[in-house]
């Protein structure tokens, strides 16, 4: 498969923007990519193979070399510190990591608890603030935690802010801006450098001329 580039694509909300970006970069991608439930889709005319993965897993596939490149959120890259190179900020799926909680509440002095899908990011953030917290790892619907008394604060992604608002929560601190990045496996980058350089150049052209 030396002449085929395997791309790990995130399923879900990032997918649409990522596919649009690739199409704008001139790749003719079949509608099957958007519509099918297949998890591996070959596009031989573009010498591409797509693997459709959960956003949290994209960097894992790339680190292990079963995908040459991938599109991964900076949130996941910060959390997992995978052995991959980050080649390009794709400037899509813009959001940010923030600390949030119930309005007008102080963190519990004795054993403050923070619920999150990002335990490493949260731990590092509160350590830098000089606060010792207990991290509670959840896998989704993080906003539930302060509502039902599981935690004092959450660390989570804010995109439109709707989830916080509709659940009566407020943002306390903004931790880091997040966009999707093009990542590459270091060995693939050596073996398939011209294919990858071409992909990067084409995407860079689109990203640098888009209005954001
Ligand atoms: C993410 C995030 C927030 C929400 C923020 O959850 O964890 O819950 O989106 O978006 P908003 O600011 O536009 O409301 P996601 O929908 O990915 O699902 P999850 O709860 O399973 O993490």
**Of the candidates 134, 92, 86, 97, which has an alpha carbon nearest to the alpha carbon of residue 113?**
134
Report yes or no on whether pTM surpasses 0.85: yes
Report how far ligand 1's centroid is from the alpha carbon of 87 (Å). 26
pLDDT in tens, 165-193: 999 999 999 999 999 999 999 999 999 99
Give all strands (DSSP E) within 17-121, no chain letters. 40-43, 48-53, 69-73, 85-89, 95-101, 113-116
Fold of 95-177: D-Maltodextrin-Binding Protein; domain 2 (3.40.190)
Collapsing DSSP states into helix, strand and coil, what is residue 54? Answer: coil
| pLDDT reading at 65 higher than 80 | yes
Closest Cα partner for 101 from 49, 143, 163?
A: 143
| Protein residue with least CA distance to atom 5, ligand 1 | 158
Distance CA 64, CA 61 (A): 5
How far apart are the CA of 115 and the centre of ligand 1, in A? 14
pLDDT band for 212, please (50, 70, 90 cuts).
Answer: low
User: How far, in Å, from the CA of 156 to the mean position of ligand 1?
Assistant: 8
* pLDDT tens per residue, range 90-106: 999 999 999 999 998 88
DSSP class of 89: E
Query: Which ligand 1 atom is the nearest neighbour of the CA of 162?
Result: 14
- Give CATH 3.40.190.10 domain extents, the chain: 5-93+179-209, 95-177
Residue closest by Cα to atom 18 of ligand 1? 140
Cβ < 6 A, ligand 1 pocket? 140-143, 156-163
Contact 60, 10 (CB under 8 A): no
CA 169–ligand 1 middle distance (angstroms): 13
For domain 5-93+179-209, the CATH architecture is 3-Layer(aba) Sandwich (3.40)
């Amino acid at each position: 498969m030396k002449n085929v580039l395997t791309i790990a694509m995130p399923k879900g909300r990032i997918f649409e923007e990522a596919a649009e970006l690739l199409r704008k970069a001139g790749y003719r991608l079949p509608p099957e990519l958007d519509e099918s439930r297949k998890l591996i889709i070959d596009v031989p005319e573009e010498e591409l193979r797509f693997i459709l993965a959960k956003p949290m897993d994209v960097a894992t596939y790339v680190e292990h070399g079963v995908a040459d490149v991938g599109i991964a959120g900076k949130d996941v890259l910060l959390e997992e510190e995978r052995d991959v190179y980050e080649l390009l900020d794709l400037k899509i799926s813009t959001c940010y990591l923030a600390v949030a909680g119930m309005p007008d509440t102080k963190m519990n002095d004795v054993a403050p608890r923070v619920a999150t899908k990002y335990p490493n990011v949260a731990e590092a953030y509160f350590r830098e603030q000089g606060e010792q917290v207990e991290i509670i790892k959840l896998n989704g619907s993080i906003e539930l935690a302060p509502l039902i008394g599981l935690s004092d604060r959450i660390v989570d992604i804010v995109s439109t802010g709707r989830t916080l608002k509709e659940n009566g929560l407020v943002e306390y601190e903004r931790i880091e801006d997040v966009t999707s990045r093009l990542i590459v496996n270091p060995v693939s980058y050596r073996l398939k450098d011209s294919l990858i350089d071409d992909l990067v150049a084409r995407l860079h052209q689109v990203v640098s001329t888009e209005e954001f």
